[in-house]
Amino acid sequence: MKTIKATLRVAFFVLGLLSVSCRQDETPYATTPISVTPVFTAGDVFLYDALLTDEYGYPIYSSRSRARWKVLSTGFPVPGVGVGTVFVDSASVLRDSASVFDTVTVAVASNGDIYRHGFLATIARIRRLPALPESWDRIAAVSIGSNRSFFVGHLDTARTEAVYGLISGTPDMYAVKVKGQQKVIPAYRVELAGPHMRYTFWLADDPTAFPVIWLEPDDGFGGTELTLTEIRAGG
């Protein structure tokens, strides 16, 4: 697992540099459309296995816990962004707060791109960086297809520490229990990288879900792994 993660990080870094340095029509890797139309259902619950890792990426098994994201509300307009969804989040291992519950707010634009409110501000707090104002950060540029770098935002107020993302062209397969039935679902890997951070998640479409979420160790800080095990219907 450690070797696979290291390989993924190196591959993403090289591919990101190539994509940024080339004009869009000269992308050195084939771009394929991403077939994802994110739709969430109010009340649905996403159950995760949560695990902390140390600063070298090794799992801290004593930290293993269960976490859940519940869709509190969805379908509301976010002016200038898209259609919003709010999750109630119990995964305290992946945020800066010690409170029992928090919220995660995402929005899906008309072109399918996904934004998360305050994402980079949260990363800055986790990494103990100077405070950032919360904004809508684009965490998945579905509209441009795979293997093309997209701009996420800046991790500093001086706007010198840019964060970029990349979506893989070939989906990985994950086994998840979906509303009582075991399913194997395809999910695209999305990697976000910049100074002080490397954050990876997988995006599935049928059903819409984030099967795996990683915050990689960096700058002497440990990381976090969330693995989706079950989706329960709201009721």
Q: Residues in the chain with pLDDT < 70?
A: 1-29, 91-100, 235
Stated pTM of the model: 0.85
What is the structure's pLDDT at 102? 83
d(CA 175, CA 179): 13
What is the structure's pLDDT at 86? 97
- Would you state the structure tokens that stand for residue 85, as one six-digit string? 């969804």
- Would you state the structure tokens that stand for residue 235, as one six-digit string? 């009721």
What is the structure's pLDDT at 32? 83
Contacts 24+ apart (CB under 8 A), 60-68: 60/222, 63/93, 65/93, 67/91, 67/92, 67/93, 67/94, 67/226
What is the structure's pLDDT at 96? 56
What is the structure's pLDDT at 178? 96
